[in-house]
Amino acid sequence: MTRPTEKEIGAIASAAGVPVEKEVAARIANSIGPAFDGFAAIAGTLPFDLEPSTFVLVQTEKVAR
């Protein structure tokens, strides 16, 4: 997963219904970039049948022990 570019951020913000100016998109790209970098090794690697509620299962399984 790569950091989103200024252009991509402009498009996705518009699609979200909150359009931003070019310089704001550039600032966002710089600011959120490290989060994308950190998650890059995970993105695109998750198994098909994994859903967010797995977290609660793992959390409560620990309680039951």
Q: Does 2 bind another protein (CB under 8 A)?
A: no
Please check whether residue 3 is in contact with residue 33, taking contact to mean a CB–CB distance below 8 angstroms. yes
Q: Does 34 bind another protein (CB under 8 A)?
A: yes
Q: Does 7 bind another protein (CB under 8 A)?
A: no
Q: Which residues contact 4 (CB under 8 A, 6 or more apart)?
A: 12, 29, 32, 36
Q: Does 35 bind another protein (CB under 8 A)?
A: yes
CA distance 55 to 59: 6
Contacting residues toward another protein, per CB under 8 A: 1, 4, 8-9, 12-13, 16-18, 20, 24-25, 27-32, 34-44, 46, 50-60, 62-63
